[in-house]
Homo-oligomer: A and B are copies of this chain.
């Protein structure tokens, strides 16, 4: 490459990175050769010396979570604009596995990581941040140097859902929550219960079950709620998959949705608009979340050691047919 143009590698580097310190004629000749040979600078060599590999990591809990690919799409688009490529991995909700994933990312010298944390790993993640790695935690609220967090205001979302059920005349309401214990779950439950603090008189105390956050879990959850109290008329589910499971269970048990039983989901995955009746749910602006996540990550990469305030994005109740 260099000797083909008759200049030193250093000059090629200068031209490619547009550092200045070369003549117009040299620039033209180098760029021609770059074009001809399809030359691409070797990011490994560059990263070795600049300590910037031009990569970011995205670590999720489970790639098949419908939540995830939308994030990846947004993050990739943003990352591409700053010339970074994206590593992709899942931690399976397991701290051990998450540690392995981070070791691997560290050895590849990623410039930063966006992570949906495995349960109970905030300490572990803080340690990586302390070690100098820019880190963005999604879906949790954490304050720590060199670390940012972005999340949705699901406490408010749950609150909106419950208030909506109450406002549309439901008075015997249950919540199907997730038994996977991370702090944000509790926030959703708290927002839900809070809505009952000034509920209309005659409103029954709300019921709660915790099950696996899957379609089948949703079915089981509704079953268990109905065993406790068969005259329930409103359900808030922890996510849309569970809401769909609950809906199917309700329908096959002979309840009409929404006439006998109103159901509100949470997440607005594409599916929720396709089942019948279409699911009333909490919409999350995921493109916004991914944009904010990568934006704050780039900020952390540029300004190491800073400590941005946690970002909590608003959510919106979308009323469709199931309530």
Contacts and interface: CB of A to CB of B under 8 A. Distances in A.
A88 interface: yes
A40 B64 CA distance: 30
B86 A88 contact: yes
A270 B244 CA distance: 12
A107 B40 contact: yes
Interface in A67-106: 68-70, 72-73, 76, 80, 85-90, 100, 103-106
Interface in A95-128: 100, 103-109
A307 interface: no
A64 B53 contact: no
A90 B64 contact: no
A107 to B, nearest CB: 4
**Total copies of the chain:** 2
Interface residues of A, number: 47
A43 B53 CA distance: 11
A271 interface: yes
A206 B1 CA distance: 59
Interface stretch (A44-52, A166-174, A183-191, A296-304): A44-52
Given A53-B44, A90-B76, A276-B276, A85 B104 contact: yes
Interface of A: 40-45, 47-48, 53-55, 58, 62-66, 68-70, 72-73, 76, 80, 85-90, 100, 103-109, 215, 244, 248, 251, 270-271, 274-276
Closest 8 CB pairs of A and B: A88-B88, A40-B107, A63-B69, A63-B73, A44-B44, A44-B48, A43-B107, A44-B47
